[in-house]
């Protein structure tokens, strides 16, 4: 397997620099994000989108308010169906639980359907360390597994690669003859993966939603790999973040509708696989053993810390496709399993090791395009603002920033100091601008971050308030000061 | 979103919240705003105690530093509205209007008394184009512009305040102007306050995407409702040596904007066709 050139543990600034300097990434993102965003707009536009978004939002809020009861209801029903439910508090617990299940069932080979939850807890590495072969079967996940790379998008894990790059990877790793035809590339993958499915002992998937009232785990896929993962191997394990719960079958289809339309812009996916426990006598297929692992990994803390709204997320990736920051830097620059605006909120609040995680809430211009695109109406800009407040309150900010902000606040608290600063600024900036004939081309210190690429205008020679005072001179007006 | 104050009779007097950037860098935008309001028969007063609403600090996470500025702002403007000395507060900025009428609620959540006053004030605080169109009912303000205009929808204005129709309506009625739609007019220009400095490279990349779309629209000027985004866009356009500039909508509406003449159209560079018998190497 190839060694990846993508290192998520590098510092934030390095990750961003690498991403912005990667011309192929720019092409790949340009090709995909715009298309996905357009498809979402069309698919949501075909239904009463405000109503759908309201309904899903209210349902998710109900779930979060009733989380303990609903989880226990789910456990009761999964158990009644003959499945086993495991409660995993942290990432290591998921790893331990699934390695134990695999050892007991004498598992040699694991096939996996796409799952962000298992990425989050680094399950593959744990299974491999325990001596098992793990094969990703979602095409995108399979490609990045061959390349040794982490996913860079919630639903399109290989969005950072162009078809040209994917062809190179397949030629190198699978001896595929040179081609850029996606059909040919797909059929090569299908040929390899079919053999893996038939010889696998265990299937692992995530869970798009689980229905509490029936004990049913649902996965939404377009390639059929999910169906084979859940039905062919002897043992089937589902890993589910505890927020992926829905109360009823009707709610499941509500979330399904929002998910398909917002993620890939489909009316419905090609496959919706629903598993309610292991194979029963007389069933044509299905696993002999069924396990559901409920994953917390900080989600309960998110609720307690006031970031519970992010648990309404149904992982559609719509916020990534419209985010002007994501469109420039892609997913890896975020350094986390979860990227884009939702990743910048989840990563600092969930229990994950992410290098420079404090920088993520600042990786946004707070433009709000994410909130408009979100099918659950998560107020991501507001949460990013609150996370920034937390970063500052915890003192994880530069001394310079703090001193600067305190000075700024003091200066703005007094009209006299504001006006003096303005006069000084006008003098200084006009001097700087004079040097470069019109606009300021260079500013010192941290302000160079502006003038590296942009000019800045000098301050006005006479401020608005100075002009205003002249205008109202001698008249008695409301709001005027003694200088008028 | 705040429920906006309703007026039984047309507002007669407003307080101008000029914003610190307009005050210090773009006084002409402030003057244009005053002119537009006065032309509609509205008296403008300017409380000179005002400084900055605190958004730069709030936006960067320094809420402790932003709070005194928020309280100060409320103390200056709220009594004017409460005592009916003015009917409304008007600002030539979507972003600063968002801060004071929208984010103060969040910032002052632990100070109920101030929060209540901020909400009261917020309901009576209007962005300029919103005030002109929704409150005064103006669509054609009598402006004239000889050239091509395009519009950039600033994010706070468009997404936090939901103001988009109003500036577009006013521009559509500018006599002589051809208004064209640029690609992705509602996509962020990459300013984002300190983001522009802290994440300079990303901000620049976003801005370059924006300026490309502006240049591609072939407009003479791009009108917008925030001088912060204007500073960012113009900073890039100026560095790139482009002819087109961003202008505040108040400047367009007050006929302040002169069009930089288009460079002489380059003569047709296509060479004249050569007789067919000499093509394809036929001697």
Q: Parse chain A into domains and list their residue ranges.
A: 12-301, 399-472
Among residues B85, B105, B134, the one where a domain terminates is: B134
- % chain A with pLDDT above 70: 98
Res B260: pLDDT: 65
Residue A2 has pLDDT above 60, yes or no: no
* Dihedral class, residue B233 (left if φ above 0, else alpha if ψ from -120 to 50, else beta): alpha
User: Looking at beta carbons, which residues of chain B come within 8 Å of A447?
Assistant: 197
Q: Which residues pair with A84 in a beta bridge?
A: A291
Contact residues, A window 91-130, toward B, CB-based 8 Å cutoff? none
Residue A289 has pLDDT above 60, yes or no: yes
Res B215: pLDDT: 97
Residue A112 has pLDDT above 60, yes or no: yes
Residue among A393, A383, A398, A315 nearest A349 (CA) = A383
Same domain for B79 and B95, yes or no, is yes
Given an 8 Å threshold on Cβ–Cβ distance, is A324 in contact with B190? yes
Question: How does pLDDT run across B102-140, given as a tens digit for each residue?
Answer: 999 999 999 999 999 999 999 999 999 999 999 999 999
> Quick check: B200 contacting A, CB < 8 Å?
yes
Same domain for B113 and B148, yes or no, is no
Question: How does pLDDT run across B153-162, given as a tens digit for each residue?
Answer: 999 999 999 9
Which of the four pLDDT bands, split at 50, 70 and 90, describes residue A444? confident
By three-state DSSP, how is residue A110 classified?
strand
The alpha-carbon gap from A259 to the nearest alpha carbon of chain B, in Å, equals: 23
Same domain for B126 and B223, yes or no, is no
Res B265: pLDDT: 47
Question: For all residues of chain A together, what is the average pLDDT?
Answer: 95
Which stretches within A305-365 are classed as H helix?
318-322, 324-329, 340-349
Residue B282 has pLDDT above 50, yes or no: no
The structure tokens listed for A215 are 């004990």
Same domain for B53 and B129, yes or no, is yes
Which of the four pLDDT bands, split at 50, 70 and 90, describes residue B261? low
Same domain for B170 and B227, yes or no, is yes
Same domain for B187 and B109, yes or no, is no
Which of the four pLDDT bands, split at 50, 70 and 90, describes residue A435? confident
Contact residues, B window 125-154, toward A, CB-based 8 Å cutoff? none
CATH architecture, domain A12-301: 3-Layer(aba) Sandwich (3.40)
Number of neighbours of residue B186 by Cβ within 10 angstroms:
15
The alpha-carbon gap from B228 to the nearest alpha carbon of chain A, in Å, equals: 11
> Quick check: B47 contacting A, CB < 8 Å?
yes
Res B283: pLDDT: 44
Separation between Cα atoms, residue A119 and residue A315, nearest integer Å:
13
The alpha-carbon gap from A36 to the nearest alpha carbon of chain B, in Å, equals: 15
Question: How does pLDDT run across A366-402, given as a tens digit for each residue?
Answer: 999 999 999 999 999 999 999 999 999 998 777 668 9
| CATH assignment at residue B53 | 3.40.50
Among residues B66, B101, B134, the one where a domain terminates is: B134
Q: Is A246 exposed, middle or buried (0-12, 13-18, 19+ CB in 10 A)?
A: buried
Q: Which residues pair with A456 in a beta bridge?
A: A440
> Quick check: A84 contacting B, CB < 8 Å?
no
For residues A65-92, give the mean pLDDT: 98
Residue B53 has pLDDT above 90, yes or no: yes
Given an 8 Å threshold on Cβ–Cβ distance, is B25 in contact with A453? no
Same domain for B130 and B17, yes or no, is yes
Contact residues, A window 464-483, toward B, CB-based 8 Å cutoff? 464-469, 472, 477-481, 483
The structure tokens listed for A431 are 């001097």
Which of the four pLDDT bands, split at 50, 70 and 90, describes residue B270? low
Question: How does pLDDT run across A3-17, given as a tens digit for each residue?
Answer: 567 899 999 999 999
Contact A78, A277 (CB under 8 A): yes
Given an 8 Å threshold on Cβ–Cβ distance, is A447 in contact with B51? no
Res B113: pLDDT: 96
Residue B4 lies inside a defined structural domain of this protein: no
* Dihedral class, residue A276 (left if φ above 0, else alpha if ψ from -120 to 50, else beta): beta
Residues 6+ apart with CB under 8 A from B36: B128, B132, B141, B250, B253, B254
Question: For all residues of chain B together, what is the average pLDDT?
Answer: 93
Separation between Cα atoms, residue B273 and residue B81, nearest integer Å:
73
> Quick check: A462 contacting B, CB < 8 Å?
yes
CA distances (Å), origin A154, targets A206, A328, A371 = 12, 16, 17
Separation between Cα atoms, residue A11 and residue A150, nearest integer Å:
17
- pTM value? 0.94
Substitution target in A453, A458, A472, A476 with the highest count of B β-carbons within 10 Å is A453
Report CA A166 to chain centroid distance, whole Å: 23
Separation between Cα atoms, residue A317 and residue A308, nearest integer Å:
18
User: Looking at beta carbons, which residues of chain B come within 8 Å of A415?
Assistant: 48-49, 51
Which stretches within chain B are classed as H helix?
20-24, 27-39, 55-59, 63-82, 94-98, 104-107, 112-123, 128-130, 155, 165-172, 195-198, 200-217, 227-240, 249-253
Residues 6+ apart with CB under 8 A from B259: B145, B146, B147, B220, B221
Separation between Cα atoms, residue A49 and residue A374, nearest integer Å:
11
Question: How does pLDDT run across B86-105, given as a tens digit for each residue?
Answer: 999 999 999 999 999 999 99
Question: How does pLDDT run across A402-433, given as a tens digit for each residue?
Answer: 999 999 999 999 999 999 999 999 999 999 99
Domain assignment of residue B50, given as a range: 13-134
Given an 8 Å threshold on Cβ–Cβ distance, is B207 in contact with A454? yes
Report CA A163 to chain centroid distance, whole Å: 23
Number of domains into which chain B is organized = 2
Chain B residue with the nearest C-alpha to that of A21: B201
Given an 8 Å threshold on Cβ–Cβ distance, is B187 in contact with A324? yes
Same domain for B192 and B130, yes or no, is no
Residue among B192, B30, B53 nearest B118 (CA) = B53
Substitution target in B190, B202, B207 with the highest count of A β-carbons within 10 Å is B202
Given an 8 Å threshold on Cβ–Cβ distance, is A362 in contact with B195? yes
Residues 6+ apart with CB under 8 A from B189: B152, B154, B206, B207, B210, B229, B232, B233
> Quick check: B212 contacting A, CB < 8 Å?
no
Residue B274 lies inside a defined structural domain of this protein: no
Res A1: pLDDT: 46
Number of neighbours of residue A359 by Cβ within 10 angstroms:
22
Which of B45, B72, B192 is opposite residue A365, by nearest beta carbon?
Answer: B192
Residues 6+ apart with CB under 8 A from A204: A98, A110, A111, A112, A113, A115, A118, A123, A229, A236, A237, A238, A239
End-to-end CA distance of chain B: 76
> Quick check: B205 contacting A, CB < 8 Å?
yes
Residue among A101, A103, A134, A102 nearest A118 (CA) = A134
Question: How does pLDDT run across A227-282, given as a tens digit for each residue?
Answer: 999 999 999 999 999 999 999 999 999 999 999 999 999 999 999 999 999 999 99
Which of the four pLDDT bands, split at 50, 70 and 90, describes residue A446? confident
Residue B102 lies inside a defined structural domain of this protein: yes
Which of A367, A409, A480 is opposite residue B188, by nearest beta carbon?
Answer: A367
Residue A460 has pLDDT above 70, yes or no: yes
Contact B72, A413 (CB under 8 A): yes
Contact A44, A375 (CB under 8 A): yes
Residue B268 has pLDDT above 60, yes or no: no
By three-state DSSP, how is residue A3 classified?
coil
Residue B112 lies inside a defined structural domain of this protein: yes
Residue B232 has pLDDT above 90, yes or no: yes
User: Looking at beta carbons, which residues of chain B come within 8 Å of A472?
Assistant: 46
Among residues B83, B108, B134, the one where a domain terminates is: B134
Separation between Cα atoms, residue A378 and residue A373, nearest integer Å:
9
- Tell me how many degrees the CA angle A9-A15-A16 measures, rounded to the nearest 5: 155
Number of neighbours of residue A398 by Cβ within 10 angstroms:
10
Which of A405, A455, A465 is opposite residue B60, by nearest beta carbon?
Answer: A405
Which of B22, B51, B195 is opposite residue A412, by nearest beta carbon?
Answer: B51
What was the ipTM of the complex prediction? Answer: 0.94
Question: How does pLDDT run across A173-183, given as a tens digit for each residue?
Answer: 999 999 999 99
For residues A134-163, give the mean pLDDT: 96
Given an 8 Å threshold on Cβ–Cβ distance, is B57 in contact with A371? no
Contact residues, B window 64-83, toward A, CB-based 8 Å cutoff? 64-66, 68-69, 72, 80
Same domain for B108 and B48, yes or no, is yes
DSSP letter, residue B159: I
Residue B224 lies inside a defined structural domain of this protein: yes
Measure the CA dihedral A224/A229/A231/A236, to 10°. -150
Same domain for B144 and B219, yes or no, is yes
Contact residues, B window 153-192, toward A, CB-based 8 Å cutoff? 155-156, 159-160, 186-188, 190-192
The structure tokens listed for B247 are 């202008």
Q: Which residues pair with B74 in a beta bridge?
A: none
Residue B104 lies inside a defined structural domain of this protein: yes
- % chain B with pLDDT above 70: 91
Question: How does pLDDT run across B165-213, given as a tens digit for each residue?
Answer: 999 999 999 999 999 999 999 999 999 999 999 999 999 999 999 999 9
The structure tokens listed for B141 are 């303000």
Substitution target in A331, A409, A416 with the highest count of B β-carbons within 10 Å is A409
Res B2: pLDDT: 55
Which of B193, B202, B236 is opposite residue A325, by nearest beta carbon?
Answer: B202
Separation between Cα atoms, residue A222 and residue A272, nearest integer Å:
8
Contact A246, A255 (CB under 8 A): yes
Separation between Cα atoms, residue A123 and residue A134, nearest integer Å:
10
Substitution target in B35, B43, B65 with the highest count of A β-carbons within 10 Å is B65
């Amino acid at each position: 397997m190839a060694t990846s050139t993508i290192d998520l543990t590098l510092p934030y600034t390095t990750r961003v620099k690498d991403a912005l300097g990667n011309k192929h990434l720019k092409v790949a993102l340009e090709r995909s994000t715009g298309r996905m965003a357009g498809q979402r707009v069309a698919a949501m536009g075909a239904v009463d989108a405000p109503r759908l978004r309201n309904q899903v939002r209210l349902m998710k809020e109900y779930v979060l308010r009733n989380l303990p009861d609903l989880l226990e209801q789910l456990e009761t029903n999964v158990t009644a169906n003959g499945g086993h439910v495991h409660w995993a508090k942290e990432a290591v617990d998921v790893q331990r639980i699934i390695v134990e299940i695999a050892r007991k069932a004498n598992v040699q080979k694991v096939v996996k359907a796409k799952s962000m939850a298992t990425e989050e807890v680094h399950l593959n590495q744990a299974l491999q360390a325990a001596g098992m072969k793990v094969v990703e079967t979602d095409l995108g996940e399979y490609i990045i597994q061959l390349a040794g790379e982490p996913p860079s998008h919630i639903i399109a894990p290989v969005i950072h690669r162009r078809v040209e790059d994917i062809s190179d990877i397949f030629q190198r790793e699978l001896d595929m003859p040179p081609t850029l035809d996606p059909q040919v590339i797909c059929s090569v993958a299908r040929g390899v993966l079919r053999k893996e499915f038939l010889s696998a002992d265990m299937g692992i998937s995530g869970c798009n939603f689980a229905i509490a009232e029936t004990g049913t785990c649902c996965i939404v896929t377009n390639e059929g790999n999910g169906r084979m993962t859940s039905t062919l191997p002897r043992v089937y394990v589902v890993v589910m973040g505890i927020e992926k719960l829905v109360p009823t079958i009707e709610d499941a289809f509500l979330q399904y509708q929002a998910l398909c339309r917002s993620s890939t812009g489909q009316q419905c996916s090609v496959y919706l696989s629903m598993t309610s426990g292991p194979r029963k006598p007389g069933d044509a297929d299905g696993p002999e053993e069924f396990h559901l692992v409920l994953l917390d990994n900080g989600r309960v803390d998110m609720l307690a810390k006031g970031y519970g709204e992010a648990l309404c997320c149904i992982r559609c990736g719509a916020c990534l496709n419209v985010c002007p920051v994501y469109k420039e830097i892609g997913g890896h620059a975020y350094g986390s399993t979860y990227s884009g605006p939702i990743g910048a909120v989840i990563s600092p609040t969930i229990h994950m090791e992410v290098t420079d995680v404090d920088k993520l809430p600042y990786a946004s211009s707070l433009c709000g395009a994410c909130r408009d695109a979100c099918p659950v109406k998560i107020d991501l800009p507001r949460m990013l603002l609150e996370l920034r407040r937390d970063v500052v309150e915890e003192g994880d900010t530069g001394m310079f920033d703090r001193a600067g902000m305190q000075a700024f606040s003091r200066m703005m608290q007094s009209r006299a100091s504001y006006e003096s600063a303005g006069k000084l600024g006008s003098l200084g900036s006009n001097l700087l601008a004079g040097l470069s004939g019109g606009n300021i081309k260079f500013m010192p210190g941290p302000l160079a971050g502006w003038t590296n690429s942009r000019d800045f205008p000098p301050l006005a020679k006479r401020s608005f308030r100075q002009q205003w005072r002249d205008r109202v001179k001698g008249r008695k007006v409301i709001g005027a000061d003694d200088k008028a | 979103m705040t429920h906006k104050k309703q007026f039984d009779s047309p507002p007669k007097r407003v307080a101008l919240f000029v914003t610190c950037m307009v005050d210090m860098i773009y006084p002409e935008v402030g003057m244009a705003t005053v002119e537009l309001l006065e032309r509609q028969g509205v008296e403008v007063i300017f409380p000179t105690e005002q400084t900055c609403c605190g958004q730069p600090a709030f936006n960067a996470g320094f809420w402790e530093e932003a709070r005194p500025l928020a309280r100060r702002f409320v103390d200056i403007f709220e009594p004017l509205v409460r005592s009916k000395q003015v009917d409304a507060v008007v600002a030539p900025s979507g972003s600063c209007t968002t801060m004071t009428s929208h984010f103060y609620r969040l910032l002052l959540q632990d100070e109920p008394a101030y929060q209540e006053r901020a909400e009261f004030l917020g309901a009576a605080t209007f962005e300029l184009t919103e005030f002109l169109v929704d409150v005064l009912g103006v669509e054609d303000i009598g402006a004239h512009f000889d050239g091509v205009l395009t519009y950039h929808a600033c994010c706070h204005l468009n997404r936090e305040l939901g103001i988009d129709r109003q500036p577009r309506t006013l521009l559509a009625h500018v006599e002589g102007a051809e208004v064209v739609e640029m690609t992705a007019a509602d996509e962020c220009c990459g300013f984002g306050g300190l983001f522009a400095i802290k994440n300079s490279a990303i901000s620049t990349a976003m801005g370059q995407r924006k300026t490309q779309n502006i240049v591609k629209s072939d407009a003479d000027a791009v009108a917008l409702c925030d001088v912060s985004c204007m500073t960012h866009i113009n900073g890039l356009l100026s560095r790139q040596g482009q002819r087109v500039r961003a202008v505040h909508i108040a400047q367009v509406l007050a006929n302040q904007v002169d069009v930089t003449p288009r460079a002489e159209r380059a003569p047709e560079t296509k060479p004249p066709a050569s007789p067919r018998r000499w093509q394809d190497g036929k001697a």
